[in-house]
A and B are shown apart, each in its own frame.
Chain A
Amino acid sequence: MSAPLTPLTLLTAPIRWVRRNLVVIMGSLALVYLLLPNVVVMLFSFNKPAGRFNYEWREFSTDAWTNPCGVADMCGSLGLSLRIALTATLIATVFGTLAAFALGRYRFRGKSTAQGLIFLPMAMPEVVMAASLGTLFLNMRVNFGFTTILIAHVMFCLSFVIVAVKARVMSMDPRLEEAARDLYAGPAQTFWRVTLPLAAPGIAAGAMLSFALSFDDFIITQFNAGPSTVTFPMFVWGAAQRGVPVQVNVIGTAMFVIAVAIVLVGQLTSNRRKKQAL
């Protein structure tokens, strides 16, 4: 540390520093790569593009921020995406949690088949599931629309919910429920007062994951949507062909800021709670 500053150490010290911190340097560069597009999206939400496309910087403006719904159909598509994501999350979380308890708690015949069935949707390219479900709906002469999108979203969200909840269920100490029974809690009471609160973090993680997946899904939605059900990702896709309004960047930035704020507040409060517990 306190080596004399000779010309040689002046030369080798930076090299040694780089070598010692190589992982941190490369990791930070990877983070820059990951977050750069979010910064660009944010930056270009203050742009005033010359043409219909918002790809090149021209001048600073807050026009889009003061009029976020100024583009026809965009906010409607946002509302549709929210409704689909919330409904799909609710169904997938309830059904997925039930299945996760079955797989995490019991040994039964056919368990490995069930696990394979649940793993398969995650191990398949989206476009395959999208095309096959679309073919089925088409041949059954089902009208494409809200219901078909919802069915598709629940289908691919289920596996993720099951994996998230199952991990939590398997790490739960079964003795806690035994203790509740020993203290004369009925099955219902044990479930509501002990089992469910213990599994809650896993259920919450699964629900958040499925909300994010459903809200952002494009491929499966494109194959199973009707002409009048344009979700927000589908709106963006259409805009990419016709001309991207700045408002798309406003929505992207706003979602990013809100979500990061929620996550950071959650982390801070849980840290504080941990400190108080100590």
Chain B
Amino acid sequence: MSPALTTAPPPPGAAAPAEAPPAAPERRPRLTPYWLLLPAGIWLAVFFVAPLFYQASTSVQTGSLEEGYQVTWHFATYWEALQDYGPHFLRSFLYAAVATALCLLIGYPLAYMIAFRAGRWRGLLLVMVIAPFFTSFLIRTLAWKSILSDSGPVVSALNSLHLLDVTSWLGLTADDRVLATPLAVICGLTYNFLPFMVLPLYSSLERIDPALHEASRDLYAKPSTTFRRVTFPLSLPGVVAGTLLTFIPASGDYINAQLLGSPREQMVGNAIQKQFLNVLDYPTAAAMSFILMALILVMVTLYMRRAGTEDLV
């Protein structure tokens, strides 16, 4: 309850000027937040929430663009989409999960270094983490085509170390190439979403009081024990935020699969894009994006419940 709402007269001796000016009507503080929220709220309601409901209804419609669509409660669209594009869904979540794990493995040392070992270079290193964003991500993803090209340095290095045999045995590469294989798509996804992992990790590591490290050392904990028992548990909010910010966009991505992969690596995003923009089968596109959204919501809810909920907004 805001103090301005109390109608009781101020106790004698209370500083009168500290109160809101008497001209302000009493009801104002009640409605102010709603007025402030109105423009953004309407925008999100009309262009974000309404389309989601609209999409739900489209997914059970039948018809064509010329004759118009009718709601016929045609749930078979969902079944057909899952049958036709089941592998796409599986690949999406598999690639996104691997990329998220790799982001955590690669991003944690980087965030740790910036938070605890960078000293006065901290600002510069943070700029270096954000710097890739200054070039359009499509151009940067295309650059991986040069880096991973068949005659490029990466492929020849992996070949001379006989690592390509290992990756092809794992099903990650084929025919002595990296491009147009799952490895290239995962590499691109990991690269594209790495900053989304590093930044939340950094912000939760940075908040850790260095005195806690000292205390742990004073109590004869080895550095590895300090990390396991003190640093990592305290950075968990960053780990949760970072994995969500990586996994969710990665599972809906179709750019890396399109530019770095082949038709064998297509993800569910590719399927939705194709149905919407090329085949013009809107009910199927709607059903697929509805399934994708529902699966992600379920996974995120389960994950948040396990990892402990946090006020992310």
Which A residues form the contact surface with B (CB < 8 A)? Answer: 22-24, 26-31, 33-38, 40-41, 44, 54-57, 94-96, 98-99, 101-103, 105-108, 111, 114-121, 123-129, 131-136, 138-139, 151-152, 154-155, 158-159, 162-163, 166, 178, 181-182, 184, 187, 212, 215-216, 218-219, 222-223, 232-233, 236-237, 240, 244, 248-249, 251-253, 255-256, 258-260, 263-264, 267, 271
Interface-side segment among B79-87, B133-141, B159-167: B133-141
| A residues in contact with B249, CB < 8 Å | 125-126
A200–B128 alpha-carbon span in the complex (Å): 24
Interface presence of B272 (CB below 8 A): yes
How many Cβ-Cβ contacts under 8 Å join chain A to chain B?
276
**A108-B34, A232-B136, A249-B139 given as contacts; is B128 within 8 A of A128 (CB)?**
no
Interface presence of B98 (CB below 8 A): no
Which one, B33, B43, B55, contacts A158 given CB within 8 A? Answer: B43
Chain A nearest CB, measured from B194 CB (Å): 6
In the complex, the answer to whether B109 meets A27 with C-beta atoms within 8 Å is: yes
A24–B116 alpha-carbon span in the complex (Å): 10
Chosen A-B contacts, 11 in total, with CB atoms closer than 8 Å, are A26-B109, A27-B112, A37-B140, A56-B149, A101-B36, A106-B33, A119-B313, A127-B254, A127-B292, A155-B43, A259-B134
Interface centre among A57, A132, A178, A219 (most CB of B within 10 A): A132
In the complex, the answer to whether A99 meets B36 with C-beta atoms within 8 Å is: yes
A31–B44 alpha-carbon span in the complex (Å): 36
Chain A nearest CB, measured from B118 CB (Å): 9
A234–B178 alpha-carbon span in the complex (Å): 26
| A residues in contact with B24, CB < 8 Å | 187
| B residues in contact with A138, CB < 8 Å | 282
A85–B135 alpha-carbon span in the complex (Å): 15
| A residues in contact with B292, CB < 8 Å | 125, 127-128
In the complex, the answer to whether A23 meets B109 with C-beta atoms within 8 Å is: yes
| B residues in contact with A108, CB < 8 Å | 30, 33-34
Given A38-B131, A132-B51, 17 additional A-B pairs, CB 8 A: A24-B113, A37-B141, A38-B143, A40-B146, A44-B143, A56-B146, A96-B40, A102-B33, A117-B41, A123-B244, A131-B289, A152-B47, A155-B44, A158-B44, A216-B136, A218-B138, A251-B139
Which one, A94, A119, A244, A248, contacts B312 given CB within 8 A? Answer: A119
In the complex, the answer to whether B43 meets A260 with C-beta atoms within 8 Å is: no
Return the chain A residue nearest B282 by Cβ: A135
In the complex, the answer to whether B139 meets A252 with C-beta atoms within 8 Å is: yes
**A34-B195, A40-B146, A223-B276 given as contacts; is B139 within 8 A of A260 (CB)?**
no
A28–B52 alpha-carbon span in the complex (Å): 42
The 5 closest A-B CB pairs, nearest first, are A125-B252, A27-B113, A102-B36, A26-B109, A259-B134
A267–B128 alpha-carbon span in the complex (Å): 13
Interface centre among B48, B194, B248 (most CB of A within 10 A): B48
Interface presence of B9 (CB below 8 A): no
Which B residues form the contact surface with A (CB < 8 A)? Answer: 2, 17-18, 21, 24, 29-30, 32-34, 36-37, 39-41, 43-45, 47-52, 54-55, 58, 69, 106-107, 109-110, 112-114, 116-117, 123-125, 127-147, 149, 151, 191, 194-195, 198, 244, 248-249, 251-255, 259, 269, 272-273, 276-277, 282, 285-286, 289-290, 292-293, 296, 300, 312-313
Which one, A29, A129, A216, contacts B48 given CB within 8 A? Answer: A129
In the complex, the answer to whether A124 meets B272 with C-beta atoms within 8 Å is: no
A117–B37 alpha-carbon span in the complex (Å): 11
Which one, A44, A125, A232, A255, contacts B251 given CB within 8 A? Answer: A125
In the complex, the answer to whether B252 meets A126 with C-beta atoms within 8 Å is: yes
Interface centre among B36, B54, B123, B248 (most CB of A within 10 A): B36
| B residues in contact with A255, CB < 8 Å | 134-136
| A residues in contact with B140, CB < 8 Å | 37-38, 41, 252
| A residues in contact with B45, CB < 8 Å | 117
**A125-B248, A136-B51, A260-B134 given as contacts; is B151 within 8 A of A158 (CB)?**
no
In the complex, the answer to whether A98 meets B39 with C-beta atoms within 8 Å is: yes
In the complex, the answer to whether A125 meets B269 with C-beta atoms within 8 Å is: yes
Which one, B128, B137, B149, B277, contacts A35 given CB within 8 A? Answer: B128
Chain A nearest CB, measured from B50 CB (Å): 7
**A95-B43, A139-B58 given as contacts; is B109 within 8 A of A256 (CB)?**
no
Chain A nearest CB, measured from B70 CB (Å): 12
Which one, B142, B144, B194, contacts A30 given CB within 8 A? Answer: B194
In the complex, the answer to whether B138 meets A233 with C-beta atoms within 8 Å is: yes
**A26-B109, A27-B113, A260-B131 given as contacts; is B43 within 8 A of A124 (CB)?**
no
A234–B259 alpha-carbon span in the complex (Å): 13
Chain A nearest CB, measured from B145 CB (Å): 5
Chain A nearest CB, measured from B24 CB (Å): 8
**A40-B147, A125-B252 given as contacts; is B131 within 8 A of A223 (CB)?**
no
A42–B96 alpha-carbon span in the complex (Å): 29
In the complex, the answer to whether B194 meets A253 with C-beta atoms within 8 Å is: no
In the complex, the answer to whether A162 meets B40 with C-beta atoms within 8 Å is: yes
| A residues in contact with B146, CB < 8 Å | 40, 44, 54-57
